[in-house]
Amino acid sequence: MPEGDVVYRTARRLGRALDGRPLNRSDFRVPRHATADLTGRTVLETASRGKHLLTRVEGGLTVHTHLRMDGAWNVAPAGRRTPGGDLVRLVLANAEWQAVGVRLGMVDLLATDDEHRVVGHLGPDPLGPDWDPQKAARRLLENPGRSIGEALLDQRALAGIGTIYRAETLFLAGISPWRPVGEAGDVERVVELARGLLEANKERPERTTTGDPRPGRGMWVYGRAGRPCLRCGGRIGRGEMGAQPQERLIYWCRRCQPG
Ligand SMILES: [Zn+2]
* CATH number of the domain enclosing 178: 1.10.8.50
**Residues catalogued as catalytic:** 2-3, 51, 248
- Tell me how far the alpha carbon of residue 223 lies from the centroid of ligand 1, in angstroms: 14
Within a 10 A sphere around the Cβ of 167, how many other Cβ atoms? Answer: 28
Q: Which amino acid is at 74?
A: N
Q: Structural domain of residue 223, as residue ranges? A: 133-253
Q: What are the residues whose beta carbon lies below 5 Å from ligand 1 (ion)? A: 229, 231-232, 234, 253, 255-256
Q: Please give the share of the chain, as a percent, with pLDDT higher than 70.
A: 98
Same domain (yes/no): 106, 172: no
Q: 94, 119, 144 — which closes off a domain?
A: 119
- Distance set, CA 32 to CA 35, 46, 170, 257 (Å): 8, 22, 40, 47
> What is the per-residue pLDDT across 27-36, written as a single tens digit (0 to 9) for each?
999 999 999 9
Distance 7 CA to ligand 1 centre (A): 30
In the reported structure, the alpha carbon of residue 133 is separated from the centroid of ligand 1 by a whole-number distance in angstroms of 27
Longest Cα–Cα distance in the chain: 59
Q: Which position has the higher pLDDT, 15 or 70? A: 15
Query: Distance, CA 258 to ligand 1 centroid (Å)?
Result: 10
**Model confidence pLDDT, tens digit, residues 148-206:** 999 999 999 999 999 999 999 999 999 999 999 999 999 999 999 999 999 999 998 88
Q: Is residue 176 part of a domain?
A: yes
Count of domains observed in the chain: 2
How far away, in angstroms, is 184 Cα from ligand 1 center?
Answer: 18
171 DSSP β-pair partners: none
* Burial category of 174 from C-beta neighbours within 10 Å (exposed 0-12, middle 13-18, buried 19 and up): middle
Residues 195, 237 within the same domain: yes
Are the beta carbons of 136 and 217 closer than 8 angstroms?
Answer: no
| Predicted pLDDT at 248 | 84
Residue of 241 and 147 predicted with greater confidence: 147
The strand ranges marked E within 15-117 are: 25-28, 43-49, 52-57, 61-66, 72-77, 88-93, 97-102, 106-111
Question: Does residue 61 sit in the same domain as residue 137?
Answer: no
The answer to whether residues 105 and 144 belong to one domain is no
Digit-coded pLDDT (tens) for 77-126: 998 888 788 999 999 999 999 999 999 999 999 999 999 999 999 999 99
Find, among 1, 22, 3, the residue nearest to 159 by Cα.
3
